[in-house]
Homo-oligomer: A and B are copies of this chain.
Amino acid sequence: MVDFSIEPGALNSSLAAPALPTGQPVDYKITARNVSVFYGEKQALFSVGIDIPDRSVMAFIGPSGCGKSTFLRCFNRMNDTIASARVKGEILVQGKNIYGPDVDPVQVRARVGMVFQKPNPFPKTIFENVAYGPRIHGLAKSKGDLEEIVVKSLQRAGLFNEVKDRLDGEGTGLSGGQQQRLCIARAIAVSPEVILMDEPCSALDPIATAKIEELIDELRENYCIVIVTHNMQQAARVSQRTAFFHLGYLVEEDTTDQIFMNPKDKRTQDYITGRFG
């Protein structure tokens, strides 16, 4: 079997993820405390706590089925939509518990955007797919404005050139990777404060992936980004901090450098060196 692991030492040179500047008072955008999630009887997440700083990228890694998506979906109360799912604990976004009683989940979701694991474009035109968010949030003053937002979002998601002459074609008629980029464009079109991305690049080729990573890098300047990925290199490339999940537990969370070069937990180490399972 081919060895595809990344030597911890190699990371330093090839992956230039800048660590957070230390010494500064950290400004946490998201704080999760004691979050447990149940699907019916089955517990999928066990008492997870995490702090996610603003203007940075946090990567969630871990084997399939370990609860990354589940946890991610807690940040914008997306789990509310699954009838069997129950969330315990509290999650503060900008200091406010989004599971509090007087919180409007809709507003949470407007502020915390999401790109889903399976691309799910609306069965509408490409233009309408992207324009939908800005429309309902009233982000465009005029038709020209709206068009500008759509074009810009598509450009940033690296899709514009491919679809520019068929903006009124069906969004569902795109290729898998195009659909995923369309969903990304749709999410950033409303410029949320936090962007949750559930394996945004899994359907993308390297060039498109590079574009998305570039975008993430760019967005990081202003937003807080949480990304789930299976691609360790990607995690290393784009994130400042990384959290490793296993079987529903948050095993370790630290700066990306630390996690990849100096993991404290045996399981983390095993996972990133591919010696797992």
Residues of A whose CB lies within 8 Å of any CB of B are 1-5, 14-17, 39, 61-65, 69-70, 117-119, 162, 173-178, 181, 198-199, 202-211, 213-214, 217, 230-233, 237-238, 271, 274, 276-277
Contacts and interface: CB of A to CB of B under 8 A. Distances in A.
A44 to B, nearest CB: 9
Given A69-B176, A274-B206, A64 B232 contact: no
B64 A178 contact: yes
A80 to B, nearest CB: 17
Contact of A117 (B176, B231, B238): B176
B64 A277 contact: no
Contact of A204 (B1, B173, B198, B230): B230
Contacts of A62: 205
A115 to B, nearest CB: 13
Q: Which 5 A-B pairs have the closest CB atoms?
A: A64-B177, A202-B202, A2-B237, A117-B176, A205-B230
Contacts of A4: 206, 210, 233, 237
Given A4-B206, A4-B210, A206-B230, A173 B65 contact: no
A179 to B, nearest CB: 9
Contacts of A207: 63-64, 271, 274, 276-277
Given A117-B203, A175-B69, A202-B202, A230 B209 contact: yes
A3 B236 CA distance: 12
Contacts of A237: 2, 4
B118 A176 contact: yes
Interface centre among A5, A175, A178 (most CB of B within 10 A): A175
A160 to B, nearest CB: 12
Given A69-B175, A176-B118, A210-B274, A205 B61 contact: yes
